[in-house]
Each structure stands twice: as C-alpha cells, then as structure tokens.
Amino acid sequence: MMKLRLSSRATSAGFLAPGLILLAVFVVAPILLTAWISLHSGSLIMSYSEMPWVGLRNYIVIFQQPTFRTTLLNTFLYSFASLVIIVPLSVALGIFLYQSTIRGRTVLRTLLFIPYMIPNVAIAIVWGYLYAPQYGPLNQILGWFHIGPQDWLASIHQAMLSLIILNVWQTLGYYVVLVIAGLTEIPRDYYEAASIDGASWLRQQFSLTIPLLRRSLAFIVVILTINTLQVFDPVYVLTQGGPIDATNVVAFNMYQTAFNFGHAGLASAMAMVLLSVVLLLSLAQLRLFKSV
C-alpha cells in the first residue's frame, strides 16, 4: 500500500512538474525580478549588478508624481465603467441566446465572439478609423441626425468613453459565452418546479438564474477586472495617453517611464503597485461572491 501511494505521488508530481516549471520560469521569476528592480535605480541598458540600491524610494517618488496618481484614477475608471456595462449586458445577452426558441442563436454567438479573437492592435486601428473626426463613419452617422461631428479621441471628456466603448464591443462576446457556459450547468428541473409554482419567466431569471450563476459571475468579474486594469494596446495605438493624460493608464505610464525616459526602477515600482492592486481587488471580489 505504501509503495502504491508513493508511486501515485510520483506520477502526480511527474505530470505537474512541466507546468510548475513553466509557471516558475515565465511568471514567478519575472515578478521577483521586477520586484528586485523596483528597489534599485537605473535604466534597462544597465547591468543588474550596476544598479544602485534605493530601497523604497521609487515607491515614494511615483506616489508623489501627479501623473501616476492620474493614471491610477484613469485605470480604475476604465475598469469600473467596463464592469458596470459588460457584466449586465453579458448576463442579459447570455440568457437571451441560451433560449431554445431563438433561431440562429449559434450564428449570433459566433458573431459576438469573433471580435474577441481579433488582435487588439488590429481592433484599435479599425476603431481609430471609425472615430476619425473628418471622415469617420460614426460622425457621418451622427450627421444623418443633424448632430455635429464629435472629437472622439481628441476630447478630454470623450476620449476615455471612446476607449470603453471599444473594449465593450471587443470583449462582450467572450463574457457572453462564459455566461452561456454557466447556464448549461443549471438543472432544468429547477425551472420546471418554478413554473409549476406559478413563477413567471422574469421571476425565474431573478430568483433562479442569477443566483445560480454566482460562480460564473465571480469568474467573469475577476477576469474582467484583471484584463481592464492592464489595458495598454488601445491607449498606445489610439491616444498615447492624451489628450492631457485623459486616457493615460498605469500600463502605458510604465511603458513610457521604462523605455522613453529610461527609469527602470520607477517603472518596476509602478508594475508592482499595479500587481498589488490586481491581487487585492481579485481577492476582495472572490470573498464578496463567496459571502453572498
């Protein structure tokens, strides 16, 4: 019996080893290296051994910078707005497309999911054309309703909203698919019993579907939060953080600090702050859904 247990553990370790090694090399090691660099000063062209130790000074400096505080607020705004829009929409569309009476629901699911499969940079380039102030299709459509052209990406009041709309369009289908996957795990017996008790279709969705989707919704909220807090591609392609830092986010500020200004220590400190925010928010969300 003891030999059998040892053999089973050895087999399990053998299967887990490749994944754990890859995780250590490509996830844990870069995080530790970034944390180490954040405690030093210098640029990326310097040898690690030549970087002078500065301790927590980089963290103090970045929080004293108005630009970094602005990028934090912008990142939170982008993430929160995306959550508020995408989560209800994905639940509503998921429930709608899960109904067996909807014709062509497979085609609609595919059409919704296709934008998520397209590279972010390609999506951003296309939406840059759609948002063009002079010849952009969106302003042309507004003209049909006698509404003047909008400075989508050049206005401090509309630039962030424009990026949020882009994100909703691109990623909504992915979260709809996750909702549909969660719906397939709910036994149909519950709905039959509710119908016998006289519950309407709408009452069934609020009393049965949404509570039983708690695990799927927890996963959606956590993944959506992580993805939106790390937003970079559309900002880099469309706005470069402008106008006047209206769309500047932490990831783009890190990129500029490291590669444009050559401050690897400050950029690494920003990365560690962003990682801490992502971890804390993810844990808080999981605990919240667990207690509900």
In tens, the pLDDT along 89-119 reads: 999 999 998 887 778 788 888 888 999 999 9
Let me know if residue 191 belongs to a domain: yes
Q: Which amino acid is at 194?
A: A
Count CB neighbours of 191 within 10 A.
Answer: 16
Residues forming beta bridges with residue 112, ordered by sequence position: none
Let me know if residue 9 belongs to a domain: no
What is the count of structural domains for the chain?
1
- Supply angle C-alpha 72, 75, 81, rounded to 5: 135
Which residue bears the tokens 């399990």? 12
Let me know if residue 42 belongs to a domain: no
Task: Return the structure tokens found at 105.
Answer: 């629901």
Closest CA to 221 of 163, 272, 290, 156: 290
Q: Is the predicted pLDDT of residue 186 greater than 90, yes or no?
A: no
Let me know if residue 17 belongs to a domain: no
CATH number for the domain that contains residue 155: 1.10.3720.10
Count CB neighbours of 88 within 10 A.
Answer: 10
What DSSP string describes 31-62?
HHHHHHHTTB---TTS-GGGSPB-TTHHHHHH
Q: Is the predicted pLDDT of residue 120 greater than 80, yes or no?
A: yes
pLDDT in tens, 23-73: 888 888 999 999 999 999 988 778 877 889 998 999 999 999 999 999 999
Most confident of 142-156, 176-190, 227-241, 278-292: 227-241
- Cα 231 to Cα 250: distance, rounded to the nearest angstrom: 8
Q: Which amino acid is at 12?
A: S
Confidence of residue 197 (pLDDT cuts 50, 70, 90): confident
Which of 123-132, 146-155, 217-226 has the least mean pLDDT?
Answer: 146-155
- What's the predicted TM-score (pTM) here? 0.91
> For the chain, what percent of residues have pLDDT higher than 70?
96
The range of the structural domain enclosing residue 144 comes to 67-291
